[in-house]
Amino acid sequence: MKTVNFNNLLIISFICFFFLGCSSTQLVDISKDEQLNDLLDNIGQVELKINANEEVKQLIIKSIVSLDSDIKINFVDSIDNGVLPISNNFLNQEFTYFCKPANVYLEEVTEQYLFDFQKNDEVFIFYSERFKYQAEAIKNSYPGVRIFKLEGDYDDLVKRVFELSGSNSRGDLINRLVQEEDIGFVPRPREDFEKIYIIADYDQSKNFIPSLRFNYILGKEIYVSSQSVTRIEDRKKLLDFSEVILAVPNSFLKADESLNLDELSKLSFLQDLILISAIKKNNGNSQIIAGQFGNIRYSQNTCSDMQTNLVQIDNQGGFNQL
């Protein structure tokens, strides 16, 4: 499929952007114990003051225990200078040390492929009310894109958008004329699109995808917002997204099948956030870190940027990197 080469393109862009921009930058892969230990040794003893509620505190503790580091977390009640506030919705929160929120980095990879490397008028977007602003922002940036709100009966929506009603009527007429047997007429959807992008939560996405397939919207690439999947607790629910394409954190590619994806995405980002915060406080040198959530370009003088992975979900609920 066409997307197979996209990750190679991302990797090349990632290397060129990071290494050409800072020739002395080192690469650290924290999934490798030796490199992680070297990074932690370089950070040394650092105290981070964090303001968070009890639920987030427990996640922070869980994320840092596995590091076995000298990073000390001091939870405080007030937000003063030097305190890192972490909200309950931290995957959508803007942090000083990162240029964009975590979820934005995930959606960027999908949208970059869909709209920077394809004809915009070949993409149909379906969005739920909660993501109306995101869909309209894409429409403003890429006027050729066509957007449709997920509402009402999904089968009726699919038939209307893909102009299947007329096709079904022609099929009924042919079957009536050939009375001896049902000729097995298959409706033909409109052909002026190549890709479908669903921007919605898990429930809306998993109910809409079967409507597409039931109505013979086949042979087209289907993409979903990462937030359709990153909030899933039971990994078996990924079977609802077979063959769908999206962006995921690094940790999803090597995660145990029993792990809660919602918690894993949160723990992964918190660990990266704590590491970057500690490096920043210790005035660490610019470097590239293959983190748990994404590949991070840590900058000593500006905010840090991040790159995530484009994957396709297979028929067993696994993530195949593209």
Secondary structure E strands in the chain: 26-29, 46-51, 71-75, 83-85, 123-127, 146-149, 195-199, 221-224, 245-248, 287-290, 295-298, 305-307, 309-313, 319-321
pLDDT of residue 85: 96
Task: Provide the residue type at 107 as one letter.
Answer: E
| Angstrom distance (rounded) from CA 199 to CA 150 | 9
Angle, alpha carbons 212-202-107 (nearest 5°):
90
287-290 and 195-199 beta bridge pairing: unpaired
Contacts (Cβ under 8 Å, ≥6 apart) of 121? 144, 145, 146, 192
Task: Provide the residue type at 206 as one letter.
Answer: K
Give the chain's end-to-end CA distance (angstroms, integer): 9
pLDDT of residue 50: 97
pLDDT of residue 214: 83
Residue in the block written with tokens 């022609």 = 170
- Per the CB < 8 A criterion, the answer to whether 311 and 305 are in contact is no
pLDDT of residue 18: 46
pLDDT of residue 24: 54
Instruction: With both helix axes pointing from N to C terminus, report the angle between 102-116 and 132-141 in degrees, rounded to the nearest 10.
Output: 40
Q: Digits of tens for pLDDT over the chain (322 positions)?
A: 444 455 554 444 454 444 444 445 678 898 888 999 999 998 999 999 999 999 999 999 999 988 888 999 999 999 998 999 999 999 999 999 999 999 999 999 998 888 876 667 788 999 999 999 999 999 998 888 999 999 999 999 988 988 776 444 433 433 443 444 554 444 565 566 788 999 999 999 999 998 888 877 777 889 999 999 988 888 888 988 999 999 999 999 987 777 789 999 999 999 999 999 999 999 888 899 999 999 999 988 899 999 999 999 998 888 999 8
Alpha helices in 66-153 (DSSP H): 102-116, 132-141
Sign (positive or negative) of CA dihedral 174, 176, 181, 186:
positive
What is the 3-state composition of the chain as percent helix, strand, coil, each rounded to the nearest 5?
45, 20, 35
* Domain ranges for the chain: 30-99+251-262+276-321, 119-228
Which option is the CATH number for 119-228: 3.40.1360, 3.30.2320, 3.30.460, 1.10.10?
A: 3.40.1360
Contacts (Cβ under 8 Å, ≥6 apart) of 140? none
| Angstrom distance (rounded) from CA 258 to CA 170 | 48
| Angstrom distance (rounded) from CA 277 to CA 96 | 9
Long-range contacts of 293-301 (CB under 8 A, 24+ apart): 293/102, 293/249, 293/250, 293/251, 293/265, 293/268, 293/269, 294/102, 294/105, 294/249, 294/250, 295/14, 295/250, 296/272, 297/17, 297/18, 297/25
Q: How many residues are present in the chain? A: 322
Q: Say whether 254 sits in a helix, a strand or coil.
A: helix
